[in-house]
Copies of this chain bind each other. A is one copy, B any other.
């Protein structure tokens, strides 16, 4: 098969980790007889520096024309101090999500047996955890009307959802649950919010189309607790944009393998794959960043965007091997063990595929 992949390396360590993901993807393509064309494009702080906006039209066109987007990370400290500054890298992220219609953010949290002791949670709490959040990504309070009144003394943000938006996300949730253990948790705040009541009634109405799926409804505050107490009691969770922002980040730290977690943002026009970690500016250019989350995001891309399960498994297998053999960057190395550079890890993976 032939694929055209938009390559958005972004800022900080983005280019370095993306580089390794390209290496590994190319090696997979060679091995399985596919042909990948990579089309690089600017986004984030580097796009602001180059052309004044964080998500240029040209980048958007490249993404729209691609079969998938592979994304590194964005953000630069020079934009960190003033969240109300007119041009910021994150605005590019939000614009990109909206313009590409990336409505479903897929955020798995799972454990690697060899890394389980990195978790802040006790082993018996985290062992066996394997959950996936589907976070709605193009609606809610992120994109509702916002502004000031009363000469700036009053601020407002509007949270809006339509039934169709909820259905679209929930459908993905039910479908994902069908491929897993058939358990779906709808996270809302239906005891307070009208948008949550719309979420709940919409999901309730869809239950009969998926009679095999057991659906539970939990309040967001209760989920924030149970994620720390009994994370392995969850499987697929669906939720709105802001709750998803908070809970997926909370979920990402419980496994102790945050630096390895991949993610996907699935859309109408295309889908985007990215590590959940940030642009880690302090490490820029040092060739020390851990590329595995980006490489595992490429595996998700092969499986979900291109339907190539075997290729994805090949990547996951060799990543597991590198973890078991300790061929890892310094963040993952055991005390006193030899550590490897970002590019060395990529080379090793290619050699061991």
Contacts and interface: CB of A to CB of B under 8 A. Distances in A.
Nearest to A146: B194
A243 B153 CA distance: 21
Nearest to A256: B229
A163 interface: yes
A225 B197 contact: no
Contacts of A250: 224-225, 227-228, 250
A190 interface: yes
A193 B94 CA distance: 12
A160 to B, nearest CB: 5
A90 B191 contact: yes
Task: Indicate how many identical chains form the complex.
Answer: 2
A280 interface: no
A152 B194 CA distance: 10
Contacts of A156: 144, 158-161, 194-195
Contact of A83 (B90, B152, B161, B191): B191
A324 B154 CA distance: 50
Interface residues of A, number: 59
A171 interface: no
A162 interface: yes
Interface in A181-231: 189-198, 200-201, 220-222, 224-225, 227-229
Interface of A is mostly: helix
B122 A141 contact: no
Nearest to A83: B190
Contacts of A246: 220-221, 224, 243, 246
A350 interface: no
A197 B84 contact: yes
A254 interface: yes
Contacts of A197: 83-84, 155
B252 A225 contact: yes
Q: Counting chain B CB atoms within 10 Å of each CB, which of A90, A147, A162 scores highest?
A: A162
Contact of A146 (B125, B147, B193): B193
A253 interface: yes
A222 B277 CA distance: 12
Contacts of A94: 192
A121 interface: yes
A57 interface: no
A229 to B, nearest CB: 5
Given A120-B122, A201-B84, A222-B249, A193 B229 contact: no
Give 6 nearest A-B pairs by CB, closest first.
A83-B190, A155-B198, A221-B249, A224-B250, A146-B194, A155-B195
Interface of A: 83-84, 88, 90, 94, 120-122, 125, 141-142, 144, 146-148, 150, 152-164, 189-198, 200-201, 220-222, 224-225, 227-229, 242-243, 245-247, 249-250, 252-254
